[in-house]
Chains A and B, each alone.
Chain A
Amino acid sequence: MTALALDAHLPTARSIGRTAGAFVLGLSLLVVFLLAAGFNVTEALAALWNGAFGSWYAFTSVTLVHATPLILLGLAFTLGSRAGAFNIGMEGQFAVGAVAATWLGLELTGVPAILALPAVMAAGALAGALWIAAPVVLRVRFGVTEVISTLLLNFVADAVVSYAVTGPLQEPSRVYPESAPIAASARLPHILPGSRLHLGFVLALVIAGLLWILLRKTTGGFKLRAVGAGPVAARVTGKIATVTVLATALLGSGALAGLGGAMEVSGVSYALYQNLSPGYGFTAIAVALLGAEEPLLVVLAGLLFGALDAGAGVMQRDAGIPAVAVQVVEAVVLLTVVVSGRKRE
């Protein structure tokens, strides 16, 4: 448990080593499973490595592009979790963020990027915050755990996306279950020549820095951690409005997840599809815990899982191993982290 003080820890070599260690353990167990199931492990690992780091293009356009939503959603989980609430509904908030961003992005043809981009990002964040609003009310007014309510809303979000791409947001020819491409000015620009890496990656890093400052250097962040560490103590001895802090943290968590969805549309897909997220909302829980719920370590964990996701795509294509297999790594990482009791440093 973190000592509650307005101090400023930076990740140490030891904490970085532990993060990498848990990840390597997860990867090793995947190898064991692959061996046990009779897959060609050499081929699988080569494909995994090539997909993630095999070329400058693979690293910047696939690994870092996949890492972007994972970092953002990992930060979203961290924000809620540090206040003592588990947002298991990031997948849904991501989806409705993508819907809102698409809707606005389609409307903004001709609007300059300097206005269109912030508007699209804000729409995604707002949609994500609204999506978690009902669970927040259920938790603070009726005592319903946010774990179940946020989880259930993931499935409702799936239905919303399905409705959007076959109904109001469907492309004009009405053949495919997808939206038309959003306005050019609503797209996040690429930041490296010859790469698909978009500005969203930089934004995610900036948000990680801001969250680190919030948690470590501000009174608000101190209150948030106090509520997470012990709500009764925070209320009684610290005179902290626990309900307000908790609600704010969860709404912020939803907003970050919604922003993740907006960035995916605005920076990667340029249109709304079903299953836009390959499970980012759940992988990000592993990202947050692997990163010990410290924003800067979450970035590192996001990069590791981004590489894994990138490699999994190639592994599926070249070695015939379903990409869903990498969830074994996520599971092992989660279990390693919670079993070793290292939820927080």
Chain B
Amino acid sequence: MSADLFTAFAAASVRVATPLALAATGETIAERGGVINLGIEGAMLSGALASAVVAVSAGPEWGIVAGVAGGIVAGAVFAAAVVGARADQIIAGTAITLGFTGITGLLARRVWGTAGAGLSVPTLAPVAVPGLAVIPWIGPAFFNQSLLTYLCYLLIPAAAWLLFRTRFGLELRASGESPVSAAAVGVRVARVRVAGVLIGGAAAGLAGASLVLAQVGTFTERMTAGRGFIAIAIVVLGRWNPFGVAAAALLFGAATALQFLLQATGSTVPYQFFLALPYLLALAVLGVAVGRSRGPAALGRPH
């Protein structure tokens, strides 16, 4: 493999991994608090639509902000259902994803008509980091990306700091391991869990924004295509640790980018195999990863 080809492959891996890492980092925080949110697929769509709409009129930077807001809205509905009303998390999450698929499809039609958003959405161009972008092989891949990828680099250690170095993180993890004990020592479990879910929603919205502004360049109905669900698998693979999650997201980015690489080298393997590869990989690693690690003990249980 030539250096050019490798660089292109690595750059595509990082670009594809960015929304996955963002969504999965947020979901890690929610899950550490004991809440699994299958609705992050819907939160990503909500963020994607909001960012596309706002980016058209106010520019891509405001699109990022709108994406976060869109994700928080979806997270808030989910939090109200599972923390407020103690609803089953799996079903409520499925409902959020279905609902926001419908709402975003409806609103996209309203805003852009049958023609869709097309190429009217302004995007975030890659910005080379002086000094780092010229590192041979990996420099252009990691340091010639959009603003959102750099934001992701900052959010991963920030999430780890939040989880393992702050009082909130301690309370969150206690709520995820044993909500009853946590409540007994004065942790307001419901409030902490809501915060975790909202952070997860915000991150998923940011992931949606990055999909629109830095990867696809437009909004289309159902454009997340299961990335939210992959992010949930990535959380398991990354063992509920932001750094592990980042590595797992990169692995999935690479598995997805593999199809570009093989197309470039003229492979005869049907392209559908590469479409399926990230999902098959997720399934295989779940078997290996779950056997050796353990999620938050109270994950999925209402308190």
Binding site for B on A (CB under 8 A): 33-34, 37-39, 86, 88, 134, 138, 142-144, 147-149, 151-156, 158-160, 162-163, 166-167, 282, 285-286, 289, 320-322, 324-332, 334-335, 337-339, 341, 343
- Asked if B286 and A324 sit within 8 Å, CB to CB, the answer is no
The smallest beta-carbon distance between B234 and chain A, in angstroms, is 10
A152-B233, A285-B94, A341-B86 given. 14 additional CB < 8 A pairs?
A86-B91, A151-B38, A156-B279, A320-B109, A320-B114, A324-B102, A324-B222, A327-B101, A327-B102, A330-B99, A332-B99, A334-B95, A335-B81, A335-B92
Q: Is the interface of A mostly helix, strand, loop or mixed?
A: helix
Q: Is the interface of B mostly helix, strand, loop or mixed?
A: helix
- Asked if B85 and A339 sit within 8 Å, CB to CB, the answer is yes
- Asked if A338 and B276 sit within 8 Å, CB to CB, the answer is no
Chain B residue contacts of A154, Cβ below 8 A: 226
Interface residues on B, range: 35 or more
- Asked if B290 and A322 sit within 8 Å, CB to CB, the answer is no
Q: 10 smallest A-B Cβ distances: which pairs?
A: A331-B99, A327-B102, A324-B105, A334-B95, A159-B276, A338-B87, A328-B102, A163-B272, A159-B272, A339-B85
Chain A residue contacts of B100, Cβ below 8 A: 331
A-B contact pairs, 13 of them (CB 8 A): A143-B290, A147-B38, A151-B226, A156-B276, A158-B275, A324-B102, A324-B105, A324-B106, A327-B102, A328-B103, A328-B106, A331-B96, A335-B95
The answer, among A34, A39, A148, A341, for a CB contact under 8 Å with B286, is: A148
- Asked if A282 and B98 sit within 8 Å, CB to CB, the answer is yes
Chain A residue contacts of B236, Cβ below 8 A: 144, 148
Rounded to whole angstroms, the CA-CA distance of A332 and B103 in the bound complex is: 12
| Chain B residue nearest to A150 in the complex (CB) | B283
- Asked if B106 and A322 sit within 8 Å, CB to CB, the answer is yes
Rounded to whole angstroms, the CA-CA distance of A158 and B110 in the bound complex is: 29
Chain A residue contacts of B233, Cβ below 8 A: 148, 152
| Chain A residue nearest to B287 in the complex (CB) | A142
The answer, among A143, A331, A343, for a CB contact under 8 Å with B98, is: A331
- Asked if B98 and A152 sit within 8 Å, CB to CB, the answer is no
- Asked if B91 and A338 sit within 8 Å, CB to CB, the answer is yes
The smallest beta-carbon distance between B219 and chain A, in angstroms, is 13
Chain B residue contacts of A86, Cβ below 8 A: 90-91
- Asked if B270 and A163 sit within 8 Å, CB to CB, the answer is yes
Q: How many A-B residue pairs lie within 8 Å, measured between CB atoms?
A: 149
B229 at the interface (CB under 8 A from A): yes
Rounded to whole angstroms, the CA-CA distance of A289 and B90 in the bound complex is: 12
A335 touching B109 in the complex, CB below 8 Å, given contacts A142-B287, A142-B290, A322-B221: no
| Chain B residue nearest to A283 in the complex (CB) | B98
| Chain A residue nearest to B222 in the complex (CB) | A324
| Chain A residue nearest to B235 in the complex (CB) | A148
- Asked if B291 and A143 sit within 8 Å, CB to CB, the answer is yes
The smallest beta-carbon distance between A152 and chain B, in angstroms, is 5
B214 at the interface (CB under 8 A from A): no
Most buried by A among B101, B236, B273: B101
The answer, among A162, A331, A339, A343, for a CB contact under 8 Å with B272, is: A162
Chain A residue contacts of B86, Cβ below 8 A: 341
The smallest beta-carbon distance between A204 and chain B, in angstroms, is 22
Chain B residue contacts of A158, Cβ below 8 A: 275
| Chain B residue nearest to A143 in the complex (CB) | B290
| Chain A residue nearest to B299 in the complex (CB) | A145
| Chain A residue nearest to B96 in the complex (CB) | A331
Give B245-289 interface residues, CB cut-off 8 Å to A: 270, 272-273, 275-276, 279-280, 282-283, 286-287
The smallest beta-carbon distance between A330 and chain B, in angstroms, is 5
Rounded to whole angstroms, the CA-CA distance of A33 and B105 in the bound complex is: 12
B107 at the interface (CB under 8 A from A): yes
A334 touching B91 in the complex, CB below 8 Å, given contacts A320-B109, A324-B221: yes
The smallest beta-carbon distance between A90 and chain B, in angstroms, is 12
- Asked if A330 and B109 sit within 8 Å, CB to CB, the answer is no
Chain B residue contacts of A38, Cβ below 8 A: 110
A334 touching B98 in the complex, CB below 8 Å, given contacts A148-B232, A152-B282, A156-B276: yes
